[in-house]
């Protein structure tokens, strides 16, 4: 039932001490200004949180990703803080974005697909090859245990490490080195994520995989398209399962010499 907004005759509002009305009006004006102030942190945070929810529902869950922990991680990680400031308005779009140094942040669905394919458990030790912006590492950190991330580009490595530190992802370690060689002193890993294309999976990464561990990587011609491939270590041997077609930027460093 709609109301006319008029007070019924014969009724009076509750009695308040003198001056209370002025106090309420002042508080109301302040709250109104805080809520409506352009660019306020609360309003901006709410907008991006809403965009994350829409992203998860329309781009990820709608395409078949059902793992509730993965979906929740994507709802939590502020993707817009892992892209250049001028691209934050596009952070939750259904496409990759440039992050500088000729590199990109993968589209949300691919991040979700790769993460879900690993079947991570709390406490799993994870190696990521290709830190990039640090976004994938942040997602992994909410699902596993320690995350070791390697980035060959020193500028990207330092920037990602700083972003992850500021946002409180304390279980992620980042270093600048050639991901082709992995992170031997931290091995073995329960899972390895490679976020750059390779013609053949690097043997060092498979060696650093624990028995029963999973390695996911874009495998194929690094100059064109690849197949996202899941490799499981069983009895010391690789069990290979092709998943979906993708296109990633190529792995650099030693991998280029092996081409």
Catalytic residues: 106
Dihedral sign from CA coordinates of 248, 253, 255, 256: positive
What span, in angstroms and rounded, lies between the C-alpha atoms of 30 and 227? Answer: 56
Residues 240 and 228 sit within 8 Å (Cβ to Cβ): no
**Tokens, residue 97:** 């974005």
Residues 219 and 229 sit within 8 Å (Cβ to Cβ): yes
3-state secondary structure of 240: strand
72, containing H or E segment: helix 68-76
What span, in angstroms and rounded, lies between the C-alpha atoms of 168 and 146? Answer: 14
What span, in angstroms and rounded, lies between the C-alpha atoms of 103 and 168? Answer: 24
Overall residue count recorded for the chain in this entry:
259
Residues 253 and 152 sit within 8 Å (Cβ to Cβ): yes
**Tokens, residue 41:** 């942190």
**Tokens, residue 19:** 């001056």
């Amino acid at each position: 039932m709609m109301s006319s907004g008029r007070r019924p005759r014969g009724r009076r509002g509750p009695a308040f001490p003198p001056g209370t009305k002025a106090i309420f009006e002042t508080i109301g004006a302040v709250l109104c200004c805080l809520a409506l102030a352009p660019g306020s942190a609360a309003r901006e945070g709410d907008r991006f949180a809403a965009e994350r929810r829409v992203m998860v529902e329309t781009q990820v869950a709608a395409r078949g990703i059902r793992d509730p922990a993965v979906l929740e991680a994507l709802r939590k990680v502020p993707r817009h803080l892992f892209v250049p400031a001028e691209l934050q308005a596009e952070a939750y779009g259904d496409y990759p974005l440039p992050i500088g140094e000729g590199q990109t942040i993968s589209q949300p669905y691919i991040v979700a697909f790769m993460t879900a394919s690993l079947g991570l458990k709390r406490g799993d030790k994870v190696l990521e090859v290709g830190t990039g912006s640090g976004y994938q590492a942040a997602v992994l950190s909410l699902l596993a245990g320690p995350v070791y991330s390697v980035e060959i580009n020193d500028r990207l490595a330092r920037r990602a490490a700083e972003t992850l530190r500021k946002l409180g992802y304390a279980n992620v370690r980042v270093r600048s080195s050639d991901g082709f060689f992995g992170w031997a002193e931290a091995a073995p890993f329960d899972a390895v994520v490679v976020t750059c294309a390779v013609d053949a999976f690097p043997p060092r990464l498979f060696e650093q995989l624990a028995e029963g561990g999973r390695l996911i990587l874009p495998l194929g011609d690094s100059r064109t398209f690849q197949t996202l491939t899941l490799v499981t270590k069983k009895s010391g041997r690789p069990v290979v399962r092709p998943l979906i077609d993708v296109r990633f930027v190529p792995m650099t460093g030693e991998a280029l010499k092996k081409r």
